[in-house]
Amino acid sequence: MLHFGRWKLLSILIITLLGVMYTIPNFVPETDRYTINEADGTATPKGIWRFIPSGTINLGLDLQGGSHIVFEVDMDEVRDAQLEALASDIRTALRETPPLLARSVSVIGDEVVVLMVRPEERDVARERIDALNTPVDTGVGQVGLTNMYDIAADPADLSAIRISVTAQQYEAIRNRTLEQSITVIRRRLDGLGTTDPTIARSGDRRVLVQVPGADNPQEIIDLVGTQAAMSFHMVDESVDPGPNGQARTPPGVSVFTMADTGGTAWLAVETRQRLTGENLNQAYVTSHPNYVGPVVGFRLDTQGALIFGELTRTNRGRRFAIVLDDEIITAPSINEPILSGSGVIGGGYTYESANQLVILLNAGALPATLTPVEQRVVTASLGRDQIESGQLAVMIGFGLVIVFMVAMYGVFGLFSTMALLVNVFLILGGLSGLGMTLTLPGIAGIILTIGMAVDANVLIFERIREEVRNNRTPVQALQAGYERALAAILDANITTFIAAAVLYMLGAGPVRGFAVTLGVGIVTSVFTAFVVSRLLAVVWLRATKPKQLPL
Amino acid sequence: MSLALVKFLPVGTKIPFIRGRLIALAISGLFIVFSMFEFATVGINFGIDFRGGIQTEVAALNTTPIESLRDTANGLDLGEARVQGAGGAGEDRTTYLISLPLQEGEGLEGEAAQNTARQALEAALLAAYPDIEMRGTTVIGGAVSGELIVTGFTAIGVALFLMLIYIWFRFEWQYSVGAIVALTHDVIATIGMFSLTQMTFDLATVAAILTIVGYSMNDTVVVYDRIRENLRKYKRMPLEDVLNLSINDTLSRTILTSVTTLVALISLYLIGGTALKGFAFAMIWGVMIGTFSSVFVAAPILLFTNVQRESNDG
């Protein structure tokens, strides 16, 4: 117990040194550590920092300010769209030659129900629907073991076929929808030029978006929560949309509101989509002689340009409408064929609103609507206050514990103080080095660790005291004290570590930060209390050779 | 440096903790019954995490009366607003937490209504008090708050279960029964304390309870460890005396560790800022109750569970 081999000594020193090295950058201003390239905002270490760790602890949003928003994907909407698409595929399949007569193909609840006019055609219909029923595409390059649909033909009802979507297919769709959403959100936030947003999947229907420094959540919600589904339709002037858009329309005609009128003007358009956002190559902010202020220019891809050229050539004099999320953003007349595949959308944009539309169009449409279900927003000033009071509490707590320990245990209190200091370096260095995030509850974890870390030393010192009372020599007392306290120290700390681990695995958001510092703190405090303080005590013992221990 | 106050701590104390076990267990029983009664009748003041709704922190000029903030929020007709002072912010400002209840609506419509309510609240506050400083907002939907409650209490349950297993593994089942009774005692007494004081019970409180569980376990393990050691050392001594001796052996350690932890926590409570006050409060109470339960609940229980002495596991 009292002998430290050369290698052991070396590793203790190296661990301590690493802790100190990774901690130091946190106390040196960024400008002293990095050369910041004004042009692209990148920072490169300078001077000595090129050779030693230069990174600092990641601060959680509650300490640096920012928005943490969890969005939920409307999976009901996704399911309905899936069923509608299936119904449409089935209708197409039934129209193949020879055409089969269906009384109806409709979505009822979570099934597509096909009702045949002639029951004897049902088996043929079923074969064609079976052909649509392919294995689930799990999106990882493998073919699923399960088919996409459950197809049921009830022997009691000879005219009906019922098709439902299998659970595996729903899961595949959910995964795909979430992945697409994350991709689109990332493109949109990148377009905004925000710093280091975090976009991550959370559970099987939610996406977590964290934007440091953004203290207006609505900006993010507007950008992320907008579906931005764009489509081109021909205007049907023969249908009167009615004064409030509620007029009955013939099949194949839809009524949408005009975006810039705030829901007072309505227009009837053909439901059929001539082009969608998929055909969009690029959107950009520009100006146009016909409009005051900025306009949004767009360029279609090759296929889109062909379709658009054909559309404008055959419909000269009519109007077409661009619909974005069920609102008409523009409905110009076609004066001449547009073969270039580019055009402008004008109408009272500010630079900001035009830019926002450009970001949305370029990032593509979300596969489903996203609604915020959790928002935690902290302004930079509140974050600063929290970090300041947290730091103060750490320092005062640390100071009081030191005073208490030195007063109680004298020179041994000094050893535990040194151990505690190394412990703080190891916690902070560990957080920096491992790239973990420090949150406000994390600071609480550090303070608690400081209070609890001395426990191991108290256990040891009390054991030593007992041995001293039993008239052992200093060396024997020290030896026995460290040896016999070890089991209790390990048991006690493993149980606390279990609590921290559970908290980390099950804890939500900010509380996880507490589990991190508590868990790291437990590991480091066992090391420092048991190893570092022992080393100091041994060195002291050899140097002073006391007749009796001052305990 | 030979001055060490620890020398003045009494050594070899012989306080008859175990003789008072019935009184101690009666006190614990009262704690538990009272806590459950409070919980059932008054209930818990759940924070935004568990209640759901909208909560915004503002720093208003000291001249702004709290009633007028409440009137502004209530004027929105979005449910009964709560306004709560949350300390000073600089010379001339005071911070308040203004909250609105969970907005009604089925599924995602309700979630959208929450966001609309947040916008309305922020707009109304900015319109009524142009120089107000908005400091942060939390919006928790119905689904999320429900899940947070479930995960919070699951976490406490899982932690207790794992502790039980660990103690069973390291000691014997008699010890693990004692430890679990003591831990459950601490958890219930802490929840009772929150019910009594009506302090806000939020995610941080759950974290605090888990830490209390860890801390109390830590204390209990130290006492148990000594009991096991003494049982081997004094084969003839009656169990009651061994328990008493072990508690007295570890008494100075129990007190010193509690004091250092309390010192750190009190500095957190007084200086750590509003957001951590509830956490620090729970921990301070928990350290005291955890220390009490290790001595007066966990150890005496061993008398009832009939600990085996002739075990030779190591």
Q: How many CA atoms lie within 13 A of B78 on its CB side?
A: 28
Together in a domain, B217 and B298: yes
* B295 lies in some domain: yes
pLDDT above 70 as % of chain A: 97
Check A551 against B7: CB less than 8 A apart: yes
Reply yes or no on whether the pLDDT at A457 is more than 80.
yes
Residue B288 CB partners (closer than 8 Å, separation 6+): B258, B262
The sign one gets for the Cα dihedral A243, A246, A249, A255 is positive
Which of A394-403, B31-40, B89-98, B187-196 has the least mean pLDDT? B89-98
Return the structure tokens found at A195.
């710093």
Strands A66-73 and A102-108: unpaired
B105 pLDDT exceeds 80? yes
Helix (H) or strand (E) holding A330: strand A327-330
Helices (H), A470-508: 474-506
Quote the mean pLDDT of chain B. 89
Instruction: Please write the tens of the pLDDT for every residue from A464-518.
Output: 998 888 888 999 999 999 998 898 888 888 888 888 898 888 876 667 888 889 9
Locate tokens 């931005």: which residue? A228
Spatial separation of the C-alpha atoms in residues A384 and A59, rounded to whole Å: 11
Final residue belonging to a domain, choices B115, B140, B165: B140
pLDDT at A346: 79
Query: Of B107, B211, B267, which has the smallest distance from its Cβ to A518's Cβ?
Result: B211
Angle at B23 between CA B17 and CA B29, to 5 degrees: 120
Q: B265: domain CATH number?
A: 1.20.1640.10
Residues on chain A touching B151 (C-beta within 8 angstroms): 506-508
Express each pLDDT in B118-164 by its tens digit. Answer: 999 999 999 999 999 999 999 999 999 999 889 888 888 898 898 88
In chain B, % of residues over pLDDT 70: 97
Closest to A464 (Cα-Cα) out of A442, A445, A483: A483
Question: Does A186 reach chain B within 8 Å, measured CB to CB?
Answer: no
Q: How many angstroms separate the CA atoms of A437 and A234, rounded?
A: 53
CB contact under 8 Å between B283 and A390, yes or no, is no
pLDDT, residue B202, reads 87
Tell me what the mean pLDDT of segment B75-91 comes to: 86
Through-space distance between the first and last CA atoms of chain B, rounded to whole angstroms:
39
Three-class DSSP category at A28:
coil
B286 within 8 A of B99, measured Cβ to Cβ? no
Cα atoms in the Cβ-side hemisphere of radius 13 Å centred on B111: 23
Nearest CB neighbour to B214, from listed A372, A382, A495 = A495
Burial of A111-130, coded b for 16+ CB within 10 Å and e otherwise, reads: bbbbebeeeebbeebbeebe
Are B129 and B170 part of one and the same domain? Answer: no
Residue of chain B with shortest Cα separation from A391: B272
Give me the residues paired with residue A208 across strands: A70, A200
Considering only alpha carbons, which residue of chain A is nearest residue B103? A373
Question: Does one domain contain both B136 and B149?
Answer: no
Q: How many CB pairs under 8 A join A and B?
A: 257
Q: How far apart are CA B296 and CA B22, in angstroms?
A: 9
**B171 contact partners, CB below 8 Å, separation of at least 6:** B224, B228
Chain A CB contacts of B155 below 8 Å: 502-503, 506-507
**DSSP secondary structure code for residue B130 in this structure:** T
Which amino acid, one-letter code, is at A532?
A: V
Cα–Cα distance for residue pair A451/A371, rounded to 1 Å: 43
In chain B, what residues touch A409 (CB-CB under 8 Å)?
Answer: 4, 6
Whether A87 and A231 have beta carbons less than 8 Å apart is answered as no
pLDDT of residue B51: 92
How far, in Å, CA of A515 to CA of A521, rounded? Answer: 10
Q: In chain B, what residues touch A469 (CB-CB under 8 Å)?
A: 11-12
Residue at a domain's end among B86, B121, B140: B140
Q: Which of B140, B173, B198 is the last residue of a domain?
A: B140
One domain for residues B25 and B75: no
Q: Which residues of A touch B314 (CB under 8 A)?
A: none
Domain co-membership, B156 together with B77:
no
CA dist., res. A375 & res. B114, Å (int):
10
pLDDT at position A143 is 63
Contact A134, A147 (CB under 8 A): yes
B203: which chain A residues are within 8 Å (Cβ-Cβ)? 507-511
Instruction: Supply the pLDDT for residue A144.
Output: 66
Task: Indicate the pTM of the whole model.
Answer: 0.83
**Is 90 exceeded by the pLDDT of residue B102?**
yes
3-class SS of residue A353: helix
* pLDDT bracket for residue B310 (50, 70, 90): low
Sorting pLDDT into bands at 50, 70 and 90, what band is B313? Answer: very low
Q: What's the half-sphere exposure (Cβ side, CA atoms, 13 Å) at B190?
A: 34
For the beta carbon of residue B71, count every other beta carbon within 10 angstroms. Answer: 13
Interchain contact, B263 vs A496, CB within 8 Å: no
Q: How far apart are CA A332 and CA A338, in angstroms?
A: 12
The H or E element containing residue A59 is strand A58-59
Residue B111 lies in a domain: yes
Closest by Cβ to B210, choosing from A465, A503, A550 = A503
Are A432 and A56 in contact by the 8 Å Cβ rule? The answer is yes
- Does residue B312 sit within a domain? no
Residue A402 has pLDDT above 90, yes or no: yes
Q: Which residues of B touch A374 (CB under 8 A)?
A: 139-141, 144
CA angle A145, A151, A154 (to 5 degrees): 145
3-state SS class at A276: strand
Q: How far apart are the first and last CA of chain A?
A: 19
Cβ proximity of A73 and A370 under 8 Å:
yes
- Work out the minimum CA distance from B70 to partner chain A, whole angstroms: 21
Q: Are residues B169 and B32 in the same domain?
A: yes
Backbone phi, psi, residue B306, to 5° = 60, 65
Separation between Cα atoms, residue B290 and residue B214, nearest integer Å: 9
Q: Does the structure show a pLDDT above 90 at A28?
A: no
Contacting residues of A for B114, CB less than 8 Å apart: 372
**SS3 of A228, please?**
coil
Q: Give the Cα separation of A129 and A136 in Å (integer).
A: 15
Q: Name chain B contacts of A511, Cβ cutoff 8 Å.
A: 203-204, 206-207
Q: Does one domain contain both B178 and B285? A: yes
Say whether B218 and A454 touch across the interface (CB within 8 A): no
Q: Whole-angstrom Cα distance, residue A465 to residue A446?
A: 29
Looking at the partner chain, which of A74, A400, A414 has a beta carbon nearest the beta carbon of B267?
Answer: A400
H or E segment to which residue A284 belongs: strand A280-286
Identify how many contiguous H helices and E strands chain A contains and give both numbers: 15, 23
**pLDDT surpasses 80 at B281:** yes
Please indicate, yes or no, if residue B228 is contained in any of the structural domains: yes
Cα–Cα distance between B6 and A416 in angstroms, integer? 14
Please list every residue in chain A whose beta carbon sits closer than 8 Å to the beta carbon of residue B119.
218
Query: Do A498 and B214 lie within an 8 Å CB cutoff?
Result: yes
For residue B163, the chain A residues in CB contact (below 8 A) are 495, 498-499
Whole-number pLDDT of residue B99? 94
Chain-chain contact of B217 with A412 (C-beta, under 8 angstroms): no
CA distance A371 to chain B (A): 6
pLDDT band at B314 (very low <50, low <70, confident <90, very high): very low
For residue B181, pLDDT over 50 is answered with yes
Q: Is the pLDDT of residue A262 over 80?
A: no
Nearest chain A residue (CA) to B214: A496
CB–CB contact B155 A507 (8 Å) = yes
One domain for residues B81 and B136? yes
The structural domain count of chain B equals 2
Percent helix, strand and coil across chain A, each rounded to 5?
50, 20, 25
A393 membership: H or E segment, kind and range: helix A380-409
Contacts of A370 in chain B (CB under 8 A): none
CATH number (domain holding residue B64): 3.30.70.2040
pLDDT computed for residue A98 by the predictor: 84
Structure confidence at residue A211 (pLDDT): 92
Which member of B210, B221, B262 has the closest CB to residue A502? B210
Q: CB–CB of B207 and A496 under 8 A? A: no
Task: Look at A139-143, A433-437, A532-536, B188-192 and tell me which has the smallest mean pLDDT.
Answer: A139-143
Beta carbons of B268 and A393 less than 8 Å apart: yes
Q: Distance between CA B189 and CA B186 in Å, rounded? A: 5
Interface contact flag, A448 B264, Cβ < 8 Å: yes
Least trusted range by pLDDT, from A135-139, B12-16, B198-202, B218-222: A135-139
Residue B2 lies in a domain: no
pLDDT confidence of residue A549: 83
Interface of A with B in 374-403 (CB under 8 A): 374-379, 381-382, 385-386, 389-390, 392-393, 396-398, 400-401
Nearest CA in chain A to B54: A375
The answer to the question of residue B310 being in a domain is no
DSSP A132-199: H-PEEE-SSS-EEEEESEEEE--TTSTTEEEEEE-HHHHHHHHHHHHHHHHHHHHHHHHHHT-SS-EE
Could you tell me which residues come within 8 angstroms of residue B123 by beta carbon, excluding any fewer than 6 positions away?
Answer: none
Do residues A413 and A406 make contact, with C-beta atoms less than 8 angstroms apart? yes
Q: Which of A473, A458, A445 shows the shortest CA–CA distance to A530?
A: A458
What are A84-137's pLDDT values in tens digits? Answer: 888 888 888 888 878 888 888 888 888 999 998 888 888 888 888 888 888 887
Give the single-character DSSP code of B42.
Answer: T
**What does the pLDDT read at residue A488?**
84
Tell me: do B93 and B26 sit in the same domain: no
Pick the CATH number of A228-351 from 3.30.1360.200, 3.40.50.720, 3.30.1280.10, 3.40.50.150: 3.30.1360.200
When pLDDT is cut at 50, 70 and 90, the band that residue B191 belongs to is very high
Which domain does B158 fall in, by range?
13-46+145-305
Largest Cα separation within chain B, whole Å, is 80
Beta strands in chain B (DSSP E): 53-61, 82-89, 93-100, 133-140
Give B44's contacts (C-beta < 8 A, 6+ positions apart).
B191, B194, B195, B201
The reply to whether B1 falls in a domain is no
User: What tens digit of pLDDT does each residue of A325-347 get?
Assistant: 888 888 888 888 888 888 888 77
Spell out which residues of chain A touch residue B280, defining contact as CB-CB under 8 Å.
444
| Among B198, B171, B214, residue whose Cα is nearest residue B314 | B171
Same domain, yes or no: B206 and B89 = no
Q: CA-to-CA distance for A34 and B77, rounded, in angstroms?
A: 52
Using DSSP's 3-state secondary structure scheme, residue A255 falls into: strand
Q: Is B151 helix (H, G, I), strand (E, B) or coil?
A: helix
| B151 with A506: Cβ contact below 8 A | yes
Task: Please give the class, per CATH, of domain A6-24+59-64+381-544.
Answer: mainly alpha
User: Are B136 and A379 in contact (CB < 8 Å)?
Assistant: yes
pLDDT at A222 over 50: yes
What is the spatial distance between Cα B142 and Cα B144, in angstroms, rounded to a whole number? 6
B245 and B206 housed in the same domain? yes
pLDDT of residue A453: 84
Residue A550 pLDDT > 90, yes or no?
Answer: no
pLDDT of residue A194: 67
Q: Of the candidates A62, A444, A550, which has its C-beta nearest B268's C-beta?
A: A444
Query: CA-to-CA distance for B61 and A222, rounded, in angstroms?
Result: 31
Q: Locate tokens 């024997």: which residue?
A: A476
**Angstroms from A270 CA to nearest CA on chain B:** 29
A372 part of contact set with chain B, CB < 8 Å: yes
The pLDDT mean for chain A works out to 87
**Residue type, position B121, single letter:** L
The ipTM of this complex is 0.86
Q: Does the CB of A49 have a partner CB in chain B at under 8 Å?
A: no
Q: Do B252 and B267 share a domain, yes or no?
A: yes
